[in-house]
Amino acid sequence: MSLMVTLASGRQPKTSESPLTSPPIVRHTVQRDNYQEVYLTLTQREEDLDAQFDALARAIVEAGFEPITEKVFGSLDEQEAIRSARARAYTHHGLEPTRPFVLVEGASTVADAPLAGIQLWGVTVGDGQRVTTLRTDDGATRLWRSPGFELAWVCHTDRRLEEASSSPRGQARALLERAGTLLAAHKMSFADVHRTWFYLAEILDWYPEFNRLRSRFFDEVGLRQDAAGLQLPASTGIQGRTGQAECALDLLAAHGDVRFTPIRSSSRQGPAASYGSSFSRAAIMELCGEKTLFVSGTASIDDAGESVYLGDAEGQSLATLLAVAALLRERGLRWADVAQGTLYFKTPDAAEAWTRVSEWLELPVLPLVQVFADICRPELLVELEVVAPFRR
């Protein structure tokens, strides 16, 4: 059971490459009953922005799919240049330049590179399907309508958020309320949310308070304990900026012929909710029988919720890999099934340690965007999140 991994050109990647030097653009395709899922990952290179976005646009056209989510990790100091290069390349290749995308501040692991990487996920539209965009003052939604279900990617909820409140706490509350409004416009609620990404500009200053605020909000909207336990989405909470706001959020939600299976713990880690973090270790999203595993941002935390291997970047890298591997293995998946992911490093030393550990373990080439960012605890040095579709 493995996914097809090809370069945009159709060539197979060399297995001898370092895990941190994956091909410039990796495409994973997953065949479903009446559509195909496509994951595109551009890893940073020391090329100019026009060349990178031109290569990405060509890869989108070659794959023949309709993007639903698009995340660009790069320097906000270069955001105008990034937006302009994207618009030029997309227009040149007949793509929609105004399609929503998220630009997240992410320092590249290559010195002075304006981009750290780009991630897209979408589908080849089958019979009775369509992908549309809805924009309001509360944000933007990319909506995939298919016979049997609807899926929404909600983003841009941080738009002019600083006008709603001057405090990070007030902005976070407004952020969640805006997301709820956008979901309601599609007859969805937070009970339909499978995956969230929270970007906090100064995460180490107030992450415990953010956790309490998120938990209170989830209680208010009905994400409470039931017979199966807490029905909480998979999530990442990481340092990041998307503009002037103190926080940003994007999420995936779906309803209809949909099954949501939260994975609260694994053989390596206990429930995050046990120490006040309202998210699941992973979640399985099942759309008309087609399943995908979303692994939350995962770091060197043991089954009691304590950070381990303090000051040891190699130890933290190994613990992180083992925790993610457990979530994959316990669902019958392997590293080869990973279609996309993001790898966060606190320091350059942590990135070098990850490379050494990955090479010792002879990991396969993984389609990971790598950025420097603070993790949710000051002592944590590495965090990894991945997406792994199931194959029938």
The alpha carbon dihedral of 15, 19, 23, 26 has a sign of positive
Query: Could you give the maximum distance between any two Cα atoms of the chain, in Å?
Result: 54
Q: Is pLDDT at 391 greater than 80 in this prediction?
A: yes
Give the chain's radius of gyration (CA, Å). 19
pLDDT at 107: 78
pLDDT level of residue 227 (50, 70, 90 thresholds): very low
- Residue 33 has a CB neighbour count (10 Å cut-off) of 9
CATH pick for 4-389 out of 3.30.479.30, 3.30.1330.40, 3.40.1160.10, 1.10.1270.20 = 3.30.1330.40
pLDDT level of residue 304 (50, 70, 90 thresholds): very high
Tens of pLDDT along 235-264? 999 999 998 899 999 999 999 999 999 999
Of the candidates 316, 307, 300, 298, which has an alpha carbon nearest to the alpha carbon of residue 388?
Answer: 298
pLDDT at 237: 98
Backbone conformation region of residue 162, classed left if phi is above 0, alpha if psi is from -120 to 50, else beta: alpha
Decide if 282 contacts 269 (C-beta within 8 A): no
Looking only at the bridges linking them, the beta strands covering 149-155 and 139-146 are antiparallel
Q: Is pLDDT at 3 greater than 60 in this prediction?
A: no
Q: What is the 3-state secondary structure (H, E, C) of 223-271?
A: CCEECCEECCCEEEEEECCCCCCCEEEEEEEEEECEEEEEECCCCCCCC
CA angle 235, 162, 87 (to 5 degrees): 75
pLDDT at 17: 35
CA distance 137 to 153: 16
CA distance 281 to 284: 11
pLDDT at 22: 57
Tens of pLDDT along 15-47? 333 344 456 899 999 999 889 999 999 987 767
Of the candidates 129, 56, 116, which has an alpha carbon nearest to the alpha carbon of residue 86?
Answer: 56
Q: Is pLDDT at 386 greater than 60 in this prediction?
A: yes
pLDDT at 224: 64
Q: Is pLDDT at 99 greater than 90 in this prediction?
A: yes
Of the candidates 329, 328, 326, which has an alpha carbon nearest to the alpha carbon of residue 293?
Answer: 328
pLDDT at 228: 53
Least confident of 193-202, 223-232, 309-318: 223-232
pLDDT level of residue 195 (50, 70, 90 thresholds): very high
Q: Structure pTM?
A: 0.92
The residue with greater pLDDT, 223 or 384, is 384
What are the structure tokens assigned to 45, written together? 């290179």
pLDDT level of residue 113 (50, 70, 90 thresholds): confident
Taking the domains of the chain in order of start, what are their residue ranges? 4-389
CA distance 347 to 273: 28
The pLDDT > 90 percentage for the chain reads 80
The residue with greater pLDDT, 370 or 110, is 370
Tens of pLDDT along 118-154? 999 999 988 889 999 999 999 999 999 999 999 999 9
Instruction: Give me the chain's average pLDDT, please.
Output: 90
CA distance 66 to 123: 5
CA distance 283 to 155: 20
Q: Is pLDDT at 366 greater than 60 in this prediction?
A: yes
pLDDT at 4: 34
Q: Is pLDDT at 284 greater than 80 in this prediction?
A: yes
Q: How many helices (H) and strands (E) does the chain have?
A: 6, 21
Helix H or strand E segment including 84: helix 79-92
Q: Which residues contact 229 (CB under 8 A, 6 or more apart)?
A: 262, 264, 271
